[in-house]
Amino acid sequence: SLSLRRVRLELRGSLSDEGEGGGKGFGVSTRLSLETMPEARLVDGFVNIRALPALQVRAGQFKTPTGRSFLVSDRRTMFAERGEIMGLNPGRQMGVMVHGRAPRNRVEYGLGAFNGEGTNRLANVNDKFMYAGRVVVAPLGGPGTAAGELLSIDEPLTFAVGYASFFGVTGPEGQEEATIGHNAEAFFHWRWVSVQGEYMWRFTDW
């Protein structure tokens, strides 16, 4: 028998020729992503405003900047299943993020404030935000995180190291829990070889 594990519908729009994530000057892009199986729910829904490649603002519901293996699209992973580290990051949240990249993606960064209550949660029980940030340095340049985990053999030698962190407090007053995470990542690609690894240290205080 054949069964479908997940079905997703994505709608994208852009007011710049280069589309989402690309371009050198001003641009506005949007994304609406709906998951229809195993149940209907909103996955991504945001507007991205680009003043320059190094200065962009994103608002809505999207992936928090917390690690390469999480930020890479499902369509561009090395393996069909993601690593268990995925369950330790905050996932998608509603919020605002400032992000950008240097020429040839030698530096990528993201810094945002989020609701912290989880996906598709508008209410904020304790009126406190979750904060997350990530910075990646690739001295030789490269295609960037969005290109995925498995690159073409035509891509030149590239390697990158990054650090991400997040802090959030959830729950009503008197029953709050604070979660802090630190994530280190490394990526290397040359010809037929692509290697990546991550290490996360996280703890929760009640």
For residue range 12-56, list pLDDT tens digits in order.
998 876 655 567 789 999 999 988 877 788 899 999 999 999 999
Closest CA to 67 of 167, 136, 119, 113: 136
How big is the chain, counted in residues?
Answer: 206
Tell me the whole-structure pTM to 2 decimals. Answer: 0.90
Where would I find the H helices in 29-76? 68-71
How far apart CA 41 and CA 8 sit, in angstroms, is 10
Check residue 19 and give its pLDDT: 56
Q: What is the DSSP letter of 87?
A: G
- State which residues of the chain have pLDDT below 50: none
69, 82 in Cβ contact below 8 A? yes
How far apart CA 74 and CA 68 sit, in angstroms, is 12
Check residue 192 and give its pLDDT: 94
